[in-house]
Structure 1
Amino acid sequence: MDSTALKEVHRQIRDAQPDSTRVRLHRAISWLNRAEQEDEDTDARFLFLWIALNAAYAQEFGFENAEREQLRKFFDALLRHDKQGSLQDILFKQFPGPIRTLIGNRFVYARFWKALREHDSSDQWAERFAKDQRSALQAVVERRTEVVLSIVLDRLYVLRNQLVHGGATWDSHANREQLRDGAAILGQLVPAILHLMMRDDAPDLGEVAYPMIHI
């Protein structure tokens, strides 16, 4: 379902929604629409999709760990309401290959960059990476949606940080594969998330970080 279809569905139900949910969906759909217009600029597409995701779940920002925990809780709540398994299908039917590639890519593994910043010449990060990779691939084999989704989001969060904080060059060949895969995965996850948020039994996500102010 693309942004146009989501906008039409939302138009039919928005008057019955809490203000915060209505604002979240309105904003998220607008950024999804912008992302869909980026056919060639993968960097921009990825960032617009991440903004759409932020618009959907965020309550307040400030600390990275708190934001990542907020994102995990958001997906945990959605998974409990995803009776048709739409998120599971995206992970295991549409993107099994790209997800395995992300799991095995050290450049989207936070501990790799932490070791580099701290000039840690030990193999601790590599040992942990190998262990995490084995656990993640086992979760893929067992189709443990909650675990795999959390791992994928952790990897994509590292990629997001590289772009947002200027840690990558625009249109660089250095990170094309993970950007293409990340944008493709988010391009399916975000519409599915927004559709789930329109259900009558969708979880209450609380107030938005920046409420709409009428002047």
Structure 2
Amino acid sequence: MATITTSTTLTVPELRERWLPHKERLNATGSGHPTAVRFHRACSWLEEAERFHTEDQTDHALIFRWTAFNALYGQWDLDRHEPLADRQSWQVFLSRMLELDTTGHTVSLLNEHRGLVLAILGNPYLNDYFWQDPCREKAGKTRQGGRHKAEAWYAQKDWPLILDRVVDRVYLLRCQLVHGAATLRSGLNREAVRHCATMAGLLVPTFLLVWIDHGAGEDWGIMCYPPVNRGAGDIRRRRPQ
């Protein structure tokens, strides 16, 4: 059972400093260790996201923060020679995060930002069910039902379900943006964009903190598109050791 602490959102420089001993240990086994590369990639995108502060940059912040998250959870399918499906990969990742997070960083975040989580889960435009047949009546029912379910999950302390659902809502909006199903800086649904960008900005540094404190020695699977040096001969996909 995790010990509940106060959630801590560290900056990228702070995360890198905390990660340094693990980085040095991993790189001592050879350059390009997958666990170190994943962390480096995630921080590169998260650091860039910290540059986006204004309202008209919220779309960019969300995309960059999700990309940082993707660097951590992405998995390579050896049979199909392509990345595994996003949802399948991040659901496994979230489960492992909660399992490893004995310090309780993730649960603390969900508790401290309960209002934000409820707002996201109660937003009909972030719910797949609404988009099956979008209409005003369904929006009202989806909003009420989503918030009611979320409050019940909090009462039950069902952290795996809460985390999965809130990330799923953020993912829906991320897909709208990167697949051209939304207009950049659109005036529609800006609250959802702000909420999701904020949530991603809280979750990803927290996942990196758990990664540092409890996951540096874990096998995070085969990462996608490993760094390849020019003139390299046999390129083999490498698992953490």
> Does the CA-based 8 Å contact 2:130-2:142 persist in structure 1?
no
Which of the pair has more CA radius of gyration?
Answer: 2
- Structure 1: 5+ residue stretches without partners: none
> Does the CA-based 8 Å contact 1:59-1:208 persist in structure 2?
yes
2:64 counterpart of 1:48: yes
2:109 counterpart of 1:90: yes
Which has more helix, going by share of residues? 1
Distance 1:156 1:8 in 2: 29
Distance 1:148 1:191 in 2: 18
Aligned Cα root-mean-square deviation (Å): 2.5
Q: Among residues 22, 30, 42, which one is paired with 2:36 in the alignment?
A: 22
Distance 2:141 2:76 in 1: 35
TM norm structure 1:
0.87
2:125 aligns to what?
Answer: 107
Helix, strand or coil for the counterpart of 2:199? Answer: helix
Matches within 5 A, 1:1-215: 1-17=10-26, 19-40=33-54, 41-60=57-76, 66-93=85-112, 95-116=113-134, 133-199=147-213, 201-202=215-216, 203-215=218-230
1:29 Cα shift?
Answer: 0.5
> Does the CA-based 8 Å contact 1:79-1:146 persist in structure 2?
yes
Helix, strand or coil for the counterpart of 1:115? Answer: coil
TM norm structure 2:
0.78
CA 1:2–1:82 in 2, change beyond 3 Å: closer, same or farther?
same
* Pairs aligned (count): 208
Instruction: Judge which range, 32-41 or 196-205, deviates more.
Output: 196-205
The residue type paired with residue 12 of structure 2 is S
- Structure 2: 5+ residue stretches without partners: 1-9, 231-241
Distance 1:143 1:37 in 2: 35
> Does the CA-based 8 Å contact 1:115-1:125 persist in structure 2?
no
1:33 Cα shift?
Answer: 0.3
Give the ranges of 4+ consecutive aligned residues of structure 1 lying more than 4 Å apart after TM superposition.
61-64, 123-133
